[in-house]
Structure 1
Amino acid sequence: MAITFAVFALVYLAPGDPVRALLGARASTPETVAAIRDRYNLDDPFVVQYLKWLWQVLHGDLGRSIVGNRKVLNVILERMGLSLVLAGISSLIVLLVGIGLGALAALRRGGWIDRGSVTLGVVGISSPAFVTGIFLLYVFGVVLDWFPVYGAGDGVLDRLWHLTLPALALAFSVMAIVVKITRAAMIEALSKDYVTFARARGLSSRRILFNYVLRNALIPVTTAAGLVVVGLVAGSIYVEATFALPGLGTLTVDAVSKRDIPLIQGTALVFSVFVVVANLVIDVLYTLIDPRIRYGGSKS
């Protein structure tokens, strides 16, 4: 409920005449203006407008796009698949490379791998997704000609090939955060007494690493996963625009540039719901990693 109110209110409070935004560059007559105001309930108070819009949303109706007069939900569903694939590949890169490199840096603390990962973290956090995307696009797409420079590709393998650079650009800055958090958490876990006790018991280094160190180090990483999700959602808009990918990010940019209010509301609502659902999944994973969360409130 709070998300829907925020999405509707932000668009409602945007500067400019909503009728002119809905009309765009088309000519208008008093009759046309009156019809638009009646169709979008612009003469009603703000609360009434919001409740009518919310009622439509709850019934799966996000309205119709001004450009093309198509249902907003259908337009979003057409673009969502590509964005989900891009987010999935980027998340896989973030988790595998970010956690792996952070753990390796902690185990080789003070070595060249550690110094390299710290440098990578500083560069990654300092580089916005669109800057990384332009750099990768120029070096590996234009100069070396290893990857395609735009488009989503056709077929499974071709699509994965087209999405490699965008996924790396989207994952780079977020991965840097995961590397820094994992490294710090691993270093702290390695200094705990239970690790020393496990070594004294003669447990193998592999078992100590996975059963004691890494599992406890993943707790702060999971806690910060909400920032990772927000970073992926925000970065996808810039990355899709940089690589000309027909996903939700590009759709949002087009909607804003054309002032397509129903489409802006629809895409903003979808992004917001995605962030909320992802954070709920993270909370569930948090309880699986740390059983103390599940049993903490059961004692009297």
Structure 2
Amino acid sequence: MNLLRFAVRRVAEMAATLLIASFVVFGAMYLAPGSPASFLLSGRSASPEAVAAINAQYHLDAPFAVRYLRWLGDMVQGDFGRSFTYRTDVSGLLADRLPTTLLLIAMALTVVVAAGLFLGRIAAVRGGATDAAVLISTTIAVGTPSFVAAVLLQGLFAVKLGWFPSSGSGDGLLDTLWHLTLPAVALALYLIGMLARVTRSAMLEALDSEHVTVARSRGVPERHVIRRHVMRNALGTVLTTGGLIVSTLLVCTILVETAFSVGGIGQLLELATSTKDFPTVQAISLIIVALFMAVNLLVDLLLPVVDPRITLGTKGAAA
């Protein structure tokens, strides 16, 4: 299938999925117990007139379908509504906090790719004691949830040793990078183990393939065999886990940001959920869905580039 046609079709599917997701997100929030009006009143008793005024101000008195269509139209125009908690535009909150979360995810993803590929490569190539050591370490990593890693790293490197800040996101680029180092490692630890194991398995499979045997029989240096034939063939399998890795980062960043008090959208989502800040929860949820779908589209487009054996089929990228 033509690459442009494939991309256009996938973008159309993404738009349809976002539309369905928007309805689910909007409807699910209004099925939750309690109401925005009760939160806005902070538990104080109010006259029916006061409650009616609040409902009218936030369009809570309109029928569900009208509220949804009005909200959807505003979202399309970039208007995410007004936060119940902060009493300000949600778009302003997102503009302040989203860059921090994206930087944290980028740092964690860099650590995952660098460490995961390295560990998986040396385990497959060297074998023996090195392979056993990598398997043991990755088993520990995979068995350590992000919030547990956050607590352990914070207690050791921030509180006991004082090498890194224990909370906050810093001021300025370098200070922000310093503050986000421990959260990025905590976020990446589980995924390093997963990617290392995927890389190891893919490379071991490639090492047993016929074309690798032929290349070795022709006297091709081992380092070239590993780089050109083994690692390149394994990258296709590794790349298919990209969507899972990013989706895990998007979900786990909520826990890690809360543990380190990082002022990103993860911590904002946790607070907004606990306070029934509907507009904020809805906006962040849709952003996460959109990011996840964009990553999956990027992976599908890169697969044929990384591995020419993979072609774009009528239902996506298929070998």
- TM-score, normalised to structure 2, is 0.88
CA positional deviation for 1:17: 3.1
2:29 aligns with one of 11, 23, 27: 11
What is the 5 A alignment of 1:223-234? 223-234=240-251
User: For structure 1, which segment, 167-176 or 46-55, has the greater mean C-alpha deviation from structure 2 after superposition?
Assistant: 46-55
Residue 268 of structure 2: aligned partner: 251
> Match for residue 72 of structure 2?
54
**Aligned residue type for 2:68:** Y
Between 269-278 and 242-251, report the one with greater CA deviation.
Answer: 269-278
- Measured after TM superposition, the shift of residue 22 of structure 1 is 4.3
Equivalent residue for 2:133, pick from 103, 116, 122: 116
The equivalent residue for 2:186 is 169
Give 3-state SS (helix, strand or coil) of 1:291's partner: coil
2:100 aligns to what? 82
Of 127-136 and 285-294, more deviation after overlay is shown by: 285-294
**Is 1:273 the counterpart of 2:283 in the alignment?**
no
Summarize the alignment of residues 276-291 of structure 1 with structure 2, pairs less than 5 Å apart: 276-291=293-308
Matched, 1:206 2:212: no
Q: How many residues matched?
A: 296
Following the alignment from structure 1 to structure 2, what is the Cα–Cα distance between the partners of residues 27 and 214?
Answer: 66
Give distance in 1, aligned partners of 2:64 and 2:176: 44
Native 8 Å contact 1:64 1:70 kept in 2: yes
Matches within 5 A, 1:131-170: 131-170=148-187
Is contact 2:146–2:186 with CA below 8 Å preserved after alignment?
yes
Q: Which runs of 5+ in 2 are unaligned?
A: 1-18, 315-319
The superposition leaves residues 211-234 of structure 1 with CA deviations (integer Å, 9 ceiling, x where unpaired) of 111111111211121110111011
The answer on 1:107 being equivalent to 2:132 is no
Contact 2:258 2:267 in 1 (8 A): yes
Distance in 2 between the 1:8 and 1:114 partners?
A: 49
Residues 64-79 of structure 1 aligned to structure 2 (within 5 Å): 64-79=82-97
The question of 1:129 aligning with 2:161 is answered no
Hey, what does 1:38 align to over in structure 2? 56
Please tell me whether residue 260 in structure 1 is matched to residue 277 in structure 2.
yes
Query: In 2, are the aligned partners of 1:22 and 1:259 still within 8 Å (CA)?
Result: no
- Write the distance in 1 (CA, Å) between the matches of 2:313 and 2:296: 21
Q: Cα distance 1:80–1:49, how it changes in 2: closer, same or farther (>3 A)?
A: same
Q: Which shifted more, 121-130 or 32-41?
A: 32-41
Q: What is the alpha-carbon root mean square deviation over aligned residues?
A: 1.7
**Sequence identity percentage:** 41
Q: Which amino acid aligns with 1:62?
A: F
TM value normalised by structure 1: 0.93
Closer/same/farther in 2, CA of residues 234 and 50 from structure 1, 3 Å limit = same
CA contact (8 A) 1:24 1:258 kept: no
| Residue from 71, 95, 98 that aligns with 2:116 | 98
Residue in structure 2 matched with residue 222 of structure 1 by the alignment: 239
Distance 2:49 2:83 in 1: 20
Off by >4 Å, runs of 4+ in structure 1? none
The separation in 2 between residues aligned to 1:27 and 1:73, in whole angstroms, is 31
Deviations 1:185-223 (A, max 9, x none): 111110000100111222222221111111111112111
